[in-house]
Amino acid sequence: MKTSADIRQLYKPIQPTVKQSADNVAYSEFLPDIRLQNYIYCYWELKTTETLSEPFIYRVVADGCIDIFFELNNPKDNFVMGFCKKFTEFPLDNSFHYIGVRFLPTMFPQLFRINASELSNRFEQLCNVVPKVSTFIADNFHNQLTPGQIQKTFDSYFINLIENTTFDNDSRLYNAIEKILQEFGVLNIEQDLNTGISQRQLRRLFEFYIGDTAKTFAKVVRFQNILRAKPSSQSLRQNKLFFDVGYYDQAHFIKEFKNFYGVTPSKAFGR
């Protein structure tokens, strides 16, 4: 039976924008305990290493995941960010220290019985969505903690949560997700996702557990695979990379890429 364990093997979402845009802003990801790695893709940290001369705009690209995040200097203010079908910009101060938890696709709804589509394309105060987790963060985090201590604090909480959660491993959903990931998002949803249920049922499962349709999820997966390939501007032009990944022409490719990333491919891969 296909389960969430297969997602991690096939999907490694990335957030590339900080590396290009900022001196004195550091972004890093660290792994959770091995027992959590089929559920949580990573914990992450976004912080200033020196006070910036002006406020910072953090651009988050579409990655198919749901994240919890908070400012370590003010952990009572914590948020959840849903599945997004376009990039999102967060205006931050000129000094900050954010911590986040990135859940693999389907895992946030599995753990908290939350309909992912209710969070899609926005972020929400975590206390309005999962009050228990919001309270846990408010009570257990402060700005003196090291990344190692942050990891241990989260690990013990989520290991306990997973041990007490019954998962709905609907093989029809996970077969469909695995097919999308194996094909790098390049497939005909109606023809290729023949998992034994109607299109309407499939749509309902994807909206609840992913946050959008199978088609939108596949587009995000396709985009993420282009990011991982790190094509140069030259290879984009010369090798017609967009045809290899299922776009019918360059204009379509550029438009969709910009929607997910916030800049054109040549700007994203220009350096």
**Residues 118-141: tens digit of each pLDDT:** 999 999 999 999 999 999 999 999
pTM as predicted: 0.93
User: Is 70:216 a contact under the CB 8 Å cutoff?
Assistant: no
Burial label for 80, CB within 10 Å (0-12, 13-18, 19+), is: buried
Residue 196 has pLDDT above 50, yes or no: yes
Of 41-45, 93-97, 183-187, the one with minimum mean pLDDT is 183-187
**Residues 239-249: tens digit of each pLDDT:** 566 666 667 77
Q: Structure tokens of 160?
A: 């306990």
Residue 25, φ and ψ in degrees, nearest 5: -125, 125
**Residues 141-159: tens digit of each pLDDT:** 999 999 999 999 999 999 9
Rounded mean pLDDT, 203-231: 92
Residue 2: pLDDT band by 50, 70, 90 thresholds? Answer: very low
Cα–Cα distances (Å) from 67 to 37, 81, 117, 125, in that order, read: 15, 5, 14, 12
